[in-house]
Structure 1
Amino acid sequence: MLKTGHTKIAVMGAGAVGCYNGGMLARAGHEVVLIGRPAHVQAIQAQGLLLQTQSFTERVAVAASTEPSAVQGAQWVLFCVKSTDTESAARAMAPHLDPGAIVLSLQNGVDNAERLQALLPQHLVLPAVVYVAAEMAGPGHVLHRGRGELVLAPSPASADIAATLQAAGIPTQVSDDVARALWSKLVLNCAYNPLSALTQLSYGEIVLSPDLPVAQVMDDIVRECLVVARASGVELPENLYDSVRQLAASMPTQTSSTAQDLARGRRSEIDHLNGFIVRRGAALGLDTPVNRLLHTLVRLLEKRVVQNG
């Protein structure tokens, strides 16, 4: 087991992303508390976090709580709640944050750090881009299927944070171009998340459909996203089309977080993915019919599964 210097870290929103990163940090010897849903918290309190990765499977001893007040005393907070819950979770934890606490937004979408900073003006909020294929395979059990890198925005604290994460086995870099990276990841999510959610298929199963024009549909999604990004002042690389196609090769068995949410009868983040592109496009006078259709279909499916869940 890895051992490093000691940092006190709270994970607000201990789902797959939060449990994976929090578990890796706890395994490296840091004092971590996972703040999440009762079923996961109870399992972790009873048996530890079952961290199943591509290179090891281990039960990690880590504190867990259902209460936002558990952020008290933390030097860092890994903020991993769904984009739909950003404001409510920020308000819940705000009274309990230590004055010097740093908040890292490990979330999908491009505007969560801004929304957090508006509610936590006394704290340093750092956007981070998360590239990890993980899911909660059961209460207190996180299954890591691939990747795991983080990209942090620059700040006086970022180099030390990155070094700590690296030492815990989480590949991390600091980049001046996090906004572009967040938009690039948004495009990947817009291409895969709704298709995986609507079909409940993995990324590999989606792209390995030679009798269907899946590649053309994905190209249409990407094209709309690139137009909206450019009009928003963000120039994304043209090879993003290739990046979208290649993602399935690196995560063939992964289903999207949107698919996982709907499978559990929960609201998804689709409003902050394809829905964000639709809203931003409309504000800029741009039509985004493919993203609009996918957003609408997922919301309709979400309405049914949440009502029945």
Structure 2
Amino acid sequence: MAEPRIVVAGAGAVGCFVGGVLAAAGRDVVLLGRARLMEEARAGLWLSDFAGWETRAAPEVSEAPDVLAGADVVLVCVKSGATEEMGRLIAEHAKERAVVVSLQNGVRNVGHLRRLLPGRDVRGAMVGFNVVARGPGWFHRSTSGEIMVEAGAGLAQLMRVPGLVVEERADIEAVQWGKLILNLTNAVNALSGLSLREMLLDRGWRRVMAAQMAEALRVLRAAGIVAKVPAKAPGWAIPPILRMPTWAFRRIAAPMLTVDPRARTSMVADLEAGRRTEVDEFQGEIVRLGERHGLATPVTARVLAEVQAAGRDGVRPLRPDDLFQ
């Protein structure tokens, strides 16, 4: 039986890393992405992580969407703002029996893809680690974490290879809401000017993270939404842990600090490059939900406004206390 062909649709940092690791393990992989990045990938990929693991890969690459016609599995890796465009390309080019998997942030993308691809097998997933581009063709996993995929279609078996921990989940929607809570950190990191590790070791910035998470958890409870945060600690325990003095935080939250010292979130790179961020899919989701249920989300709303302003005018110097005013 032929190996299923996997097309990584919208291969950026995460897509190149996941696709590259799959290709290195012998999976039949094609990366579909923008010309500049695909030109780099043609020369081969160097994949590494914060723990010292590394491998090389040479997947097939393409800039032409008609490559989707050969896909048995499509891993959608575009940012949320490009979901509509990618969904239309899949509808036009991919065969109807191809399984479509959203390896995207946010909680709305699977629904958008199902609307654009009626009758097709569209499944949710969650990528629990951060990937950064370190140079041409070099993609570095800078935090720990696993991939969780909606149960069925043999996806975990297909994707579970050396270098990737993949778990099947029947409750993928709850996991995606939990990941959204963690993704609220992305915007704080973009505003802080610090690496993730530096931010986590600064109690002031941890207080901002804790306030946002507490607001989000309160809003989700009011909305009757179950969120399963993909972390060692239960979601309700994370804000109190973040508020601890740094000496206590270091001891209790050691797993949170398994981060490459230079790692920053992708929102930092988006702002630096003048690209649209996903802050509306993260903070905006919580603010809108709070408004519908009559709950204030002042810190989350302030972070949202600051990132939107930074997208227009650049990031201005901020102290953590500025986000509580």
Alignment gaps of 5+ in structure 2: 228-234, 243-248, 316-325
Q: Give the whole-Å Cα distance in 1 for the aligned partners of 2:16 and 2:142.
A: 14
Partner of 1:290: 299
User: How do 1:109-128 and structure 2 match up within 5 A?
Assistant: 109-128=106-125
Partner of 1:194: 187
Q: Give the whole-Å Cα distance in 1 for the aligned partners of 2:294 and 2:20.
A: 44
| Shift, 1:11, TM fit | 0.5
**Partner secondary structure for residue 130 of structure 2:** strand
Partner of 1:138: 135
User: CA 1:17 to 1:229, structure 2 compared with 1: closer, same or farther past 3 Å?
Assistant: same
What are the superposed Cα offsets for residues 232-262 of structure 1, whole Å, 9 maximum, x if unpaired? Answer: 2224442243686746412253211111211
**Partner secondary structure for residue 167 of structure 1:** coil
Partner of 1:48: 44
2:290 to 262, 281, 284: 281
| Shift, 1:305, TM fit | 4.8
Partner of 2:166: 172
Partner of 2:211: 220
Matched, 1:13 2:18: no
| Shift, 1:216, TM fit | 2.4
Q: Give the whole-Å Cα distance in 2 for the aligned partners of 1:215 and 1:58.
A: 34
Q: Give the whole-Å Cα distance in 2 for the aligned partners of 1:267 and 1:305.
A: 13
Partner of 2:197: 204
Instruction: Give me the TM-score of the superposition, normalised by structure 1.
Output: 0.89
Residue type of the alignment partner of 2:274: G
Partner of 1:163: 157
Partner of 1:304: 313
Residue type of the alignment partner of 2:189: S
1:36 to 27, 33, 36: 33
Instruction: Give me the TM-score of the superposition, normalised by structure 2.
Output: 0.84
| Shift, 1:203, TM fit | 1.4
Contact 2:126 2:148 in 1 (8 A): yes
User: CA 1:151 to 1:242, structure 2 compared with 1: closer, same or farther past 3 Å?
Assistant: farther
RMSD across aligned positions (CA): 2.2
Q: Give the whole-Å Cα distance in 2 for the aligned partners of 1:233 and 1:146.
A: 31
**Partner secondary structure for residue 220 of structure 2:** helix
Matched, 1:60 2:57: yes
Residue type of the alignment partner of 2:196: Y
Contact 1:153 1:177 in 2 (8 A): yes
The percent of aligned pairs where both chains have the same amino acid is 36
Contact 2:210 2:238 in 1 (8 A): no
| Shift, 1:148, TM fit | 4.3
User: CA 1:28 to 1:257, structure 2 compared with 1: closer, same or farther past 3 Å?
Assistant: same
Contact 1:13 1:80 in 2 (8 A): yes
What are the superposed Cα offsets for residues 84-135 of structure 1, whole Å, 9 maximum, x if unpaired? Answer: 1111221123211112100111111112111111111131111101111211
Q: Give the whole-Å Cα distance in 1 for the aligned partners of 2:240 and 2:19.
A: 32
Contact 1:278 1:291 in 2 (8 A): yes
Count of aligned pairs: 296
| Shift, 1:67, TM fit | 2.3
Partner of 2:230: none
| Shift, 1:137, TM fit | 1.9
Moved more, 285-294 or 235-244: 235-244
Contact 1:207 1:214 in 2 (8 A): yes
